[in-house]
Homo-oligomer: A and B are copies of this chain.
Amino acid sequence: MTTAENSLFQHSNVAGTAFEELSVREQAERIGSFCPDAQRLAMRVLDPDDAADLLQSLDHALRAKLLALLDFSARAEVTALLAYAEDVAGGLMNPRFIRVRPHMTAQEAIMYVRKQVAANPATSSYVYVLNSQQKLMGVISMKELLMVEGKQEIQQIMRSKLVTLPESCAQDEVANIFAKNHLIAIPVLDGNGCMKGVVTADDVVNVVRSEATEDMQKMGGSEALDMPYLTAKLPTMIRKRGGWLIMLFIGELLTASAMAHFQDEIAKAVILALFVPLIISSGGNAGSQASTLVIRAMALGEVKLRDWFRVMKRELVTGLSLGIILGLLGFIRVVAWEQMFHIYGPHSVLIGLTVAISLVGVVLWGSVTGSVLPFLLRRLGFDPASASTPFVATLVDVTGLVIYFSVASAVLMGKLL
Max count, chain B CB within 10 A of own CB: residue among A183, A204, A220, A222: A220
B184 touches A200 (CB 8 A): yes
Mask, A377-417, CB within 8 Å of B = 1, is 00000000000111001100100010000000000000000
Mask, A199-226, CB within 8 Å of B = 1, is 0111111101100110111011110010
B206 touches A205 (CB 8 A): no
In A257-280, the 8 Å CB interface with B consists of 259-260, 263, 266-267, 270-271, 273-278, 280
Partner of A259, one of B234, B277, B297: B277
B282 touches A245 (CB 8 A): yes
**A372 close to B (CB within 8 Å):** no
Q: How many copies does the complex hold?
A: 2
Mask, A114-157, CB within 8 Å of B = 1, is 10011001011100000000000000011101110000000000
A interface list, Cβ under 8 A from B: 21, 110, 113-114, 117-118, 121, 123-125, 141-143, 145-147, 175, 178-179, 181-184, 200-206, 208-209, 212-213, 215-217, 219-222, 225, 228-230, 234, 237-238, 241-242, 244-246, 248-250, 252-253, 255-256, 259-260, 263, 266-267, 270-271, 273-278, 280-282, 284-286, 288-289, 291-297, 300, 302-303, 307, 310-311, 314, 317-318, 321-322, 325-326, 329-330, 333, 343, 363, 388-390, 393-394, 397, 401
Partner of A208, one of B212, B229, B330: B212
| Closest chain B residue, CB of each to CB of A216 | B296
CB distance from A28 to the nearest CB of B (A): 17
Partner of A252, one of B179, B281, B288: B281
B212 touches A401 (CB 8 A): no
Partner of A213, one of B271, B296, B311, B333: B296
- Chain B residues in 8 Å Cβ range of A213: 296, 300
Partner of A303, one of B147, B229, B274: B229
Q: Given A212-B216, A256-B275 in contact, is the A234-B288 Cβ separation under 8 Å? A: no
Partner of A322, one of B113, B147, B238, B310: B238
- Chain B residues in 8 Å Cβ range of A260: 274, 343
Complex Cα gap A401–B329 (Å): 22
Q: List 27 A-B contacts (CB under 8 A).
A: A114-B147, A117-B146, A125-B125, A182-B203, A183-B202, A208-B209, A217-B292, A222-B289, A225-B293, A228-B302, A229-B297, A229-B303, A234-B321, A238-B322, A244-B285, A244-B289, A250-B329, A252-B277, A256-B277, A260-B274, A263-B274, A266-B270, A276-B277, A277-B277, A277-B401, A285-B394, A288-B390
- Chain B residues in 8 Å Cβ range of A248: 281-282, 285
Partner of A278, one of B200, B241, B255, B274: B255
CB distance from A3 to the nearest CB of B (A): 19
- Chain B residues in 8 Å Cβ range of A201: 184, 200-202, 204-205
Partner of A125, one of B143, B311, B325: B143
Partner of A234, one of B311, B314, B390: B314
- Chain B residues in 8 Å Cβ range of A212: 208-209, 212, 216
| Closest chain B residue, CB of each to CB of A292 | B220
A256 touches B274 (CB 8 A): yes
- Chain B residues in 8 Å Cβ range of A250: 329
B118 touches A142 (CB 8 A): no
CB distance from A344 to the nearest CB of B (A): 9
Partner of A245, one of B202, B255, B289: B289
| Closest chain B residue, CB of each to CB of A237 | B318
CB distance from A365 to the nearest CB of B (A): 14
| Closest chain B residue, CB of each to CB of A228 | B302
| Closest chain B residue, CB of each to CB of A391 | B285
A325 touches B273 (CB 8 A): no
A220 touches B219 (CB 8 A): yes
